[in-house]
Amino acid sequence: MSATSNPQKVTSCSCTHSPSLFRIDCHTHIMPRELPDLAAEYGGSAWLTLRERADGNVDMSVGNKFFRTVEPNCYDVDVRLREMEENHVDAQVLSTVPVLFFYDQPAEPVNKLARYLNDHISTLCRAHPSKFIGIGTLPLQSPSLSILELRRCKHELGLQGIQIGTHIGAWSLDAPELQPVWAECEVLDMPVFVHPLGYTWAKENAEKWSSYWSSWLVGMPCETTLAINAILLSGLLNKYPKLRICFAHGGGSFPGTMGRIGQGYDCRPDLVAGRSGGVSPAEWIKRRALWFDSLVHDEHTFEFLAKKVGMNRILLGSDYPFPLGEVPEAGRMVASAPLLDKILTTENKAAVLALNTVEFYRLGPQWEIPIRDRLTEFLAQRQPKFGSPHDSGLGLGESPPKF
């Protein structure tokens, strides 16, 4: 049973504060308390292991190498729900932690892990249908296994899309090997959320990428830009025009690189444009062909992103529960940053905070109606005693910007 077909009504946040705009966080990560022991079953030392500490936190190690420590909000659903309530987040899209992709390992054990993780997310969504929307993970090093799991995610688990990395081992997202997966996503109407890996950079060049957290701060945005470049220049969207693809972290470095990519497309078509099918990256963006989350950490950068890609193509995303995300309160910048208060209408904010996610995942009226009801309530509360019934969020005499 999918979230869109679940008869249980999507309810508003039960917080006691005054009405706020509905928030769906499209970019959150979760993992189970335990993982299958793939090393015992399949051998090898590359698998993730978890060790719970006395303080309730969990140490994650890949093989014998420490990776990171996570807090209970990464695996304890009760803690997560409490933090959502405290921080005015009505619902989350749940996805696995990208270190669990394991695209560089044999497909059979990774398929088993993917099924385990997808079952876990589906169970949480069915237990809390008004709070969680689930997207799955796939063993993409095996496109044939991925297609089977994609169908299971759609038809058996009720998941609303999939999360994938920016590259699959040596394959870029335009690799011929992945074409059947893209085709199946289009047939099943399963949107794709693309998340960078980060940890692969240090494997390639530890001296360059290990200092200053560079693989996360610089490498991740680069990864995402390379993935977008491959998709836009390869003709992939010509071949699969119904695909819906959203990129994490505001598209990484791509928005600031669009001009350079466009110049390359125009001045060196022999190197850049050969597979594009005659459609430039700028034209794809003008057609609103791609989606992006809002996680840019800076209100001026958000304004730039909105002008480049369109306000209706930005989804609230926080990277909860990790510290590099917009935590603890997802959407705080969009909801209350002074600059954005000046340039966004209340309707713009409602779109980014929730309605665009409903559109991207096609969640249906049982999500859209309570979001719009909350918007109406919010506007009514802000309505001056003598004034226009339309609250633009702008000063007198100002007009909303065109995004």
Q: How confident is the model at residue 11 (pLDDT cuts 50, 70, 90)?
A: low
| pLDDT at residue 209, rounded to an integer | 83
Q: Is residue 147's pLDDT more than 50?
A: yes
pLDDT band at 10 (very low <50, low <70, confident <90, very high): low
Quote the CA–CA distance of 119 and 54 in Å, as a whole number.
28
| pLDDT at res. 62 | 86
Position 158 confidence tier, pLDDT thresholds 50, 70, 90 = very high
Residues 344-402: tens digit of each pLDDT: 999 999 999 999 999 999 999 999 999 999 999 999 988 764 444 444 443 323 344 45
Task: Identify which of 307, 322, 141, 135 has the alpha carbon closest to the alpha carbon of residue 220.
Answer: 322
Model confidence pLDDT, tens digit, residues 327-346: 999 999 999 999 999 999 99
SS (H, E, C) the chain: CCCCCCCCCCCCCCCCCCCCCCCEEEEEECCCCCCCCHHHHHCCCCCEEEEECCCCCEEEEECCEEEEEECHHHCCHHHHHHHHHHCCCCEEEEECCHHHCCCCCCHHHHHHHHHHHHHHHHHHHHHCCCCEEECECCCCCCHHHHHHHHHHHHHCCCCCCEEEECEECCEECCCHHHHHHHHHHHHHCCCEEEECCCCHHHHHCHHHHCHHHHHHHHHHHHHHHHHHHHHHHCCHHHHCCCCCEEECHHHCCHHHHHHHHHHHHHHCHHHHCCCCCCCCHHHHHHCCCCEEECCCCCHHHHHHHHHHHCHHHEECCCCECCCCCCCCCCCHHHHHCHHHHHHCCHHHHHHHHHHHHHHHHCCCHHHHHHHHHHHHHHHHHHCCCCCCCCCCCCCCCCCCCCC
Confidence of residue 133 (pLDDT cuts 50, 70, 90): very high
320 alpha-carbon distance from chain centroid: 11
Amino acid at 403: F
The pLDDT value recorded for residue 65 is: 85
pLDDT at 386: 43
- Rounded to an integer, the average pLDDT of 128-137 is 98
Q: Residue 67: how many CB atoms within 10 A of its CB?
A: 15
pLDDT for position 403: 55
Q: Rounded to an integer, what is the distance from CA 22 to the centroid of its chain?
A: 18
Q: In whole angstroms, what is the distance from residue 156 CA to residue 158 CA?
A: 6
Instruction: Quote the pLDDT of residue 277.
Output: 95
Convert the pLDDT of each residue in 217-265 to its tens digit: 999 999 999 999 999 999 999 999 999 999 999 999 999 999 999 999 9
Is residue 18 scored above 90 in pLDDT? Answer: no
**Rounded average pLDDT over 201-224:** 87
pLDDT tens per residue, range 78-89: 999 999 999 999
What percent of the chain shows pLDDT beyond 70?
Answer: 90
Question: Tokens at residue 294, please?
Answer: 């809002």
pLDDT at residue number 63: 81
Across residues 311-315, what is the average pLDDT?
97
pLDDT confidence of residue 4: 42
Q: Which is more confidently placed, 33 or 207?
A: 33
User: Over 90: is that where the pLDDT of 75 sits?
Assistant: yes
Confidence band for 206, pLDDT divided at 50, 70 and 90? confident
pLDDT over 50 at 1, yes or no: no
Q: How confident is the model at residue 400, as a pLDDT?
A: 45
Amino acid 168: pLDDT: 96
Listed residue (157, 151, 165, 129) closest to 8, CA to CA: 129
- Kindly report the pTM of this predicted structure: 0.91
Whether the per-residue pLDDT at 15 is higher than 90: the answer is: no
Section 57-76 average pLDDT = 90
| pLDDT surpassing 60 at residue 2 | no
Evaluate the omega torsion of the peptide bond into residue 365 and state whether it is cis, within 30 degrees of 0.
Answer: no
Residues for the chain: how many in total?
403
Of 128, 63, 69, the C-alpha closest to 102 is 63
Query: b/e map of 12-46 (b: 16 or more CB within 10 Å)?
Result: bbeeeeebbbbbbbbbbbbbbeebbebeeeeeeee
